[in-house]
Amino acid sequence: MVSASEFEAETKKPQVAVLSSPGMGHVIPLFVMAKGLVTQHGLHVSFLNVTTEASAAQYQLLHSPDLPSGLEIVDLPMVDLSNLVDGNTPVLTRLSLNVQESFRCLKTLLVNLNPNLLIIDLFCTQAFDVCNELSIPVYTFFTPPTHLLAFSLFLPKLDRDVEGEFVDLPEPVQVPGCSSIRTEDLLDQVRNRKIDEYKWFLYHLSRVKMAAGIFLNTWEDLEPVSIRAIRDLPFYQQIPTPTVYPVGPIIKETEPMTEECGAWLDQQPSDSVLYIALGSGGTLTSEQQIELAWGLEMSKQRFIWVVRMPSDACASASFFNVGSDPNDPESYLPEGFLERTRETGLVVPSWAPQVAILEHASIGAFLSHCGWNSILESLANGVPIIGWPLYAEQRMNATMLAEDVGVGIKAVGGRESGSVIGRNEIAKVVRKTMEGEEGKVLRAKARELKESASKALEVGGSSYQSLAILANQWKAKFTI
């Protein structure tokens, strides 16, 4: 029970509200940042939770019993989406309609909470309208990498200047001050300008300029070119682009290692295990799942594989039900695979403690869908990446890791290209990464970034200071 003196102390602190759209890739970094604002910077934070279509994993994360004093979870009432979405509604459209309906109570909620400011993710921009009416400053937390922010700031001009589809352009898209983007790497939401996914993406990202500032989940050494371009180039200044604050890597805190994974990993040599996980929402087709299994077996490398039911319908089939899907690997992996790979591999259904696994000394590489959270978790632990993009901006991320950062190999083909990556190619890439000279170079680079990430987050480091300076400004302005 909170004492009267403790309550009074909390109410004297700046009151910050944090609001995320559903989906673990957005909820996790905003929630970790919210905890940091409380424990490291002495603010009071209300985390507003969109409960409609929230996964079991999201509920468990936000309602854990060990929240720090000064952080409260405020659940928004559930809303009925049955007349707006169905099983075929794409992810961003579904998220946006969910947020639109859930925010019908936002004005009343904010009036009652009376926060000094609100921090939102990039798909909650409907909050700008409510907060403008209430004179509440809004900051955006940009969950993907900075190179996508640069592209997004450029998108309204691209939308005005280009006729037809961007994917049909004869040359890569030249984003001001940044690496060009090959048309085949363009994110899903801009590949067809006629559909709602594109309209929602353009809507949200064209409103980023309305923010009081933009938090970037990155650090200066990881994306120096994109950060410098947004800060310095006249193009971005003329938009005008709000001040950017690199505050990353903000990643999920380590969960306890499961007994099964920990015991198995402890028996493996250093840098010898390939960790395979395709994100909280990603799925493979049945055919691709079979080829991946055979490729791993043929590579003869040690592996730990987090598997889920394949889906031939959609690469993001698990986005809204992560943590709740039934899963029997024997029903969809090649017959005898589990028995044949018993000595070299461990198959884990549905979920594993990813950060704890990536921290383990036996992990030598990560076969990843290249969602930004997973990339940051991998690099923060000095682990290179085999990129296996599935949806959203993951192709762009995989290319950036391989060509700009130098910590990854991008798998060729796959669901997004309309082809299947064959078992021979998979075995070749896995062996090259785990045993070859290229893999050693990738690991060395990844370990350099681990050190720079750690320094950025230390007291006095670039990311720590970026947030601390702003938090101190809030205290000076809003403390009663």
* Active site positions, annotated: 26, 121
Rounded to whole angstroms, the Cα distance separating 413 from 208 reads 33
What would the 3-class secondary structure string for the chain be?
A: CCCHHHHHHHHHCCEEEEEECCCHHHHHHHHHHHHHHHHCCCCEEEEEEECCCCCHHHHHHHCCCCCCCCEEEEEECCCCCCCCCCCCCCHHHHHHHHHHHHHHHHHHHHHHHCCCEEEEECCCCCHHHHHHHHCCCEEEEECCCHHHHHHHHHHHHHHHHCCCCHHHCCCCECCCCCCCECHHHCCHHHCCCCCHHHHHHHHHHHCHHHCCEEEECCCCCCCHHHHHHHHHCHHHHCCCCCCEEECCCCCCCCCCCCHHHHHHHHCCCCCCEEEEECCCCCCCCHHHHHHHHHHHHHHCCEEEEEECCCCCCCCCCCCCCCCCCCCCHHHCCCCCHHHHCCCCEEEEECCCCHHHHHHCCCEEEEEECCCHHHHHHHHCCCCCEEECCCCCCHHHHHHHHHHHHCCEEECCCCHHHCCCCCHHHHHHHHHHHHHCHHHHHHHHHHHHHHHHHHHHHCCCCHHHHHHHHHHHHHHHHHCC
CB atoms within 10 A of CB 7: 10
Integer Cα distance of 198 and 93 in angstroms:
9
Residues 6+ apart with CB under 8 A from 428: none
Q: Are 444 and 383 contacting, i.e. CB atoms less than 8 angstroms apart?
A: no
CB 443 within 8 A of CB 316: no
